[in-house]
Amino acid sequence: MKKSFVVLFNVGFWACYFILIVIMLSVYYRSSLHLANPDARIINAIKTLLLFAFVPSVISYFFYYFVLFPKYLQQKKFLLSVIFGILISALAATAGYILLRYFIESGSIIDMDSSGQNGRSTAIRVIMFMTFIGVVCGMVALVIKGFITWFNEIKLKEALKEKTYEMEMALIKSQLDPHLLFNTINNIDALILKDAVAASDYLNKLSDIMRFMLYETKPDQILLSKEIEYIEKYIELQKIRTANQDYVHFTITGNVGSKKIAPMVFIPFIENAFKHTNNKKLENAISIDICVKAQKIQFRCENKFDSKPSARQPDSGLGNELIQKRLNLIYPEKHTLEVKKTDELYSVNLTIING
């Protein structure tokens, strides 16, 4: 919270407190008009109230605000907070009474007769009442300080959450970016000697993909049509490695329109599907379907694989744990992810609520 608002809260309380004192003095002044020397009486009343009302309240307020709250109440030492709070207010009241008793005794509103038992009981009553005033002002200080602390903690948590989000997203993106490049460059390099025209076409697709990854994945959301265009080019690049035209089955159903989605949400699953599909001669070895509905987008990716240990590919793709972490960051409570694995089929079903 800005310092100006903190000052405003404190000044506002004391302004209200001062107005209350002024009202009390006005009532006393009107009731004293019929008595002798009303002006002198009002001057004595001002002096008395300054010590009676302000000394214990000011001391208690600032001790509660700067000492009691941060050292005890904020540390959840509730019993010590109560004990020290009453002690502070009692000491402040005693200090105020001493000043009241010895400096402006003459003409005081309060009967300051201190002789005998009657005087001692009067002093105790006055100190107890002043202690009560101090406790009330101290409680107000705790409320103000507590609100300011609570507000600052919320702002701090929001800032930390935002920074954490940015760092995690940057980390995830840094792990997403390199995976596409190396195999694709090797495949294009091998294709150059066989078909230079096709190699040039694939190189242009790779250039478009790199442009997409470098410039269009920075916003939090992009058009779904852009994401689909990226996936289509990615699939075309991956098909360099096989002559099987039916190796990948990719379908889109529904009206894409102007729907938006977080960039590169689907590609990690597609990337992993290509990495772990061993037999490139199978028809529909990889099946990808994106279904666009009014309030949600459904993504399904299935790939066939050989379950024999000798045929397994090393797991060099983006892990499901990291993918799930990214989804939790960008679509908290607005997505469902189901991953199923059998002996020969690995399937991913992702639903994103985007309405």
Tell me the pLDDT tens digit for each residue of 204-225: 888 887 787 777 777 888 899 9
Residue whose entry in the numeric block shows the structure tokens 């697709």 = 205
Domain with CATH 3.30.565.10 in the chain: 195-353
Q: What is the reported pLDDT for 32? A: 60
Note the pLDDT of residue 264.
83
Structurally, what CATH architecture does the domain formed by 195-353 represent?
Answer: 2-Layer Sandwich (3.30)
> 116-176 vs 55-63: helix axis angle to the nearest 10?
30
Per-residue pLDDT at 349: 95
Is-contact 191 205, C-beta < 8 A? no
Cα separations in angstroms, 20 against 24, 58, 104: 6, 15, 22
Higher pLDDT, 54 or 260: 260
For 145-170, what is each residue's pLDDT tens digit? Answer: 999 988 888 887 777 577 656 656 66
Cβ–Cβ < 8 Å for 263, 322 = no
Report residue 59's pLDDT band, with 50, 70 and 90 as the boundaries. Answer: very high
Q: For all residues of the chain together, what is the average pLDDT?
A: 80
CA angle 11, 16, 18 (to 5 degrees): 90
Structure tokens, 347 = 């399937």
* pLDDT tens digits, 92-108: 989 888 887 776 554 44
Whether the CB-CB separation of 300 and 354 falls below 8 Å is answered with: no
> What's the predicted TM-score (pTM) here?
0.51
- The full DSSP string for 30-52 is HHTTTSS-HHHHHHHHHHHHIII
The DSSP bridge partners found for residue 196 are: none
Residue 202: what pLDDT?
82
Strand stretches in 115-247, DSSP E: 222-223
pLDDT, tens digit (0-9, with 9 covering 90-100), for 106-140: 444 444 444 555 667 778 888 898 899 889 999 99
